[in-house]
């Protein structure tokens, strides 16, 4: 009985101690909210990345490349330059359905924009050039485009004393095809166009309007970022034109070789109608749109993309909202982009 009595006394003491233990009061709901609000916000992972404000280039080569880019001496009849189809005031593209080459020849495809092209994973709609230098070499010898021979172009450039001196300063072997295309590529690499949207991505909430922010949200919600991602909102992959619905059947015109896209390079039937996803940078300026230049306005183009790439009939409100956002991607040319005579 004594043991039982002492056990009951000990248990009673423990119970009293537990009841009288001082508890730390729970914070009020308002205090909890305040603590949570003080936590640093975790930045969202955005599908589009900001363009840099500058890019590392050799400025002497850039200025030489600028001269070559605007020089009709690179064409067979001295009438066409790179800038003929890549107009800087038109977003680095052209205001024509398809390109026009020497002697008025009409090309098969719409010229893609050259601005920010250094961020493309490959060049041309069908990706046949691995980089800007390889791309720069192609149109010069295309009989429908510039219609020249590089050997003749080199000899023509050698008759220009200013070119001779500049090439000699920059390249040990002077004027060659490789050196000319290297300079053009360096110039094109420098043509970056940061926009208000980049400031927004970097944290400046006031850089774009509420309507543009809503448009960006709609752009993401609709699924456009499945393809239009990265620094230039595109240029990172090939995608089939008519992914979920037959675009070419509905277009109703004969399928051309240009419509075959990546197939022209690989000869793989699975690559038919695949194209490099175009950049959306400066897209406000680059009409007409699509590889075939078949759409005159951004509104039409967004509607087509929704239908054939996403399988969605976007409402007019959604389309207009997305277009509002897309216009925030229009940037400014760098100061050196145009030759002094065009500034």
Residues with a catalytic annotation lie at 145
Contact 213, 196 (CB under 8 A): no
**Phi, psi (degrees; rounded to nearest 5) at 289:** -115, 165
- DSSP 3-state assignment of 22? coil
Record the tokens describing residue 146, joined without a space: 């510039």
- Burial label for 19, CB within 10 Å (0-12, 13-18, 19+), is exposed
CA 79 from chain center: how many Å? 30
Q: How far apart are CA 65 and CA 70, in angstroms?
A: 9
Q: How far apart are CA 168 and CA 55, in angstroms?
A: 25
At which residue do the structure tokens 């007409």 appear?
A: 288
- DSSP 3-state assignment of 195? strand
Q: Which of 285, 324, 288 is nearest to 304 (CA)?
A: 288
Residues in CB range of 152: below 8 A, 6 or more apart: 76
């Amino acid at each position: 009985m004594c043991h039982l009595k002492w056990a009951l006394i000990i248990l009673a003491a423990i119970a009293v101690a537990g009841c009288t233990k001082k508890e730390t009061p729970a914070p009020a709901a308002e205090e909890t909210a305040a603590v949570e609000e003080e936590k640093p916000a975790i930045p969202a992972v955005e599908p589009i990345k900001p363009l840099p404000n500058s890019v590392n280039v050799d400025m002497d080569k850039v200025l030489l490349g600028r001269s070559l880019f605007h020089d009709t001496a690179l064409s067979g009849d001295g009438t066409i330059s790179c800038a003929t189809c890549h107009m800087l005031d038109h977003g680095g593209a052209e205001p024509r359905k398809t390109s026009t080459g020497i002697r008025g020849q009409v090309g098969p495809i719409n010229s893609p924009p050259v601005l920010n092209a250094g961020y493309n994973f490959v060049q041309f709609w069908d990706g046949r050039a691995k980089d800007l230098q390889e791309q720069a070499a192609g149109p010069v010898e295309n009989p429908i485009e510039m219609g020249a021979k590089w050997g003749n172009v080199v000899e023509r450039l050698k008759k220009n004393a200013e070119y001779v001196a500049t090439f000699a300063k920059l390249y040990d072997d002077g004027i060659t095809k490789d050196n000319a295309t290297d300079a053009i590529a360096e110039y094109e690499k420098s043509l970056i166009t940061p926009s208000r949207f980049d400031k927004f991505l970097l944290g400046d909430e006031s850089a774009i309007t509420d309507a543009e922010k809503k448009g960006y949200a709609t752009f993401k919600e609709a699924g456009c970022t499945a393809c239009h991602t990265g620094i230039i909102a595109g240029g990172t992959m090939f995608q089939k034109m008519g992914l979920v619905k037959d675009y070419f059947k509905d277009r109703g015109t004969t399928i051309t070789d240009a419509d075959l896209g990546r197939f022209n390079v690989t000869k793989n039937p699975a690559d038919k109608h695949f194209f490099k996803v175009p950049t959306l940078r400066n897209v406000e300026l680059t009409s007409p749109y699509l590889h075939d230049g078949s759409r005159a306005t951004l509104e039409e183009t967004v509607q087509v993309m929704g239908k054939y790439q996403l399988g969605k009939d976007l409402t007019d409100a959604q389309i207009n909202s997305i277009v509002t956002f897309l216009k925030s991607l229009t940037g400014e040319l760098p100061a050196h982009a145009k030759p002094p005579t065009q500034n």
